[in-house]
């Protein structure tokens, strides 16, 4: 079976996070008709897998089954070298039930201080999964490396963006022009792989 996504296809994006949905829509170049799981009233899927790819696939399959639509899900997060890859797949959980990423960023800073390790290296990972209601699925992963910086800077992104500086850039993801971020981000890299596989 050849899996392809046709332009204009209706997809359910398995998220209740408006910022993430908006960023995915831009990366998808508005070539699809998107509706979010939140807009359809679908419950949030509990992320029980130990990898980004596992969680993305879990969410995509749940949304496809519940909606009867082709589903796109992402699982992404920040990993810090000095914290042995944490928060990683627990990135959203560090923000608590209120999704307070100010709290999450303070937690990262406190854990780094506790670690006593002077290593700012960090990376963002994004896994994207597309699942069809009748079972087939494709999952890919993208990553961008950089470093952590404190205090947080910028309010143009979301999540941990204000404490992450990619590669040789000077601006944090929170300060960067959204179009530039979309061009280089972990989601952009994952989407390039998804595009090669499905479009």
Q: Which residues of 117-145 are buried (b: 16+ CB within 10 A; e: fewer)?
A: eeebebbbbbbbbbbbbeeebbbbbbebe
Tokens (6 digits) for 140: 């890919």
Q: In whole angstroms, what separates CA 44 from the centre of its chain?
A: 15
Question: From the candidates 74, 75, 145, 168, which is the catalytic residue?
Answer: 75
**Which residue from 167, 138, 173 is spatially nearest to 152, judged by alpha carbons?**
173
Q: Is 81 exposed, middle or buried (0-12, 13-18, 19+ CB in 10 A)?
A: middle
- Whether 155 sits among the annotated catalytic residues: the reply is no
Residues belonging to the active site: 75
């Amino acid at each position: 079976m050849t899996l392809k996504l046709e332009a204009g296809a209706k997809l359910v994006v398995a998220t209740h996070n408006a910022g993430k949905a908006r960023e995915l829509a831009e990366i998808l170049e508005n070539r699809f008709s998107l509706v979010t799981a939140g807009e359809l009233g679908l419950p949030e899927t509990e992320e029980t897998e130990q990898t980004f790819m596992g969680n993305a696939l879990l969410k995509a399959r749940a949304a496809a089954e519940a909606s009867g639509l082709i589903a796109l899900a992402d699982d992404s997060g920040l990993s810090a070298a000095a914290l042995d890859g944490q928060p990683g797949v627990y990135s959203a959980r560090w923000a608590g039930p209120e999704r307070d990423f100010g709290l999450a960023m303070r937690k990262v800073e406190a854990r780094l201080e506790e670690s006593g390790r002077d290593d700012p290296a960090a990376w963002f990972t994004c896994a994207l999964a597309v699942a069809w209601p009748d079972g087939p699925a494709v999952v890919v992963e993208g990553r961008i490396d950089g470093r952590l910086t404190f205090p947080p800077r910028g309010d143009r992104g979301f999540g941990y963006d204000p404490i992450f500086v990619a590669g040789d850039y000077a601006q944090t993801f929170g300060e960067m022009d959204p179009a530039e971020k979309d061009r280089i981000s972990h989601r952009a890299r994952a989407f390039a792989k998804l595009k090669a596989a499905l479009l």
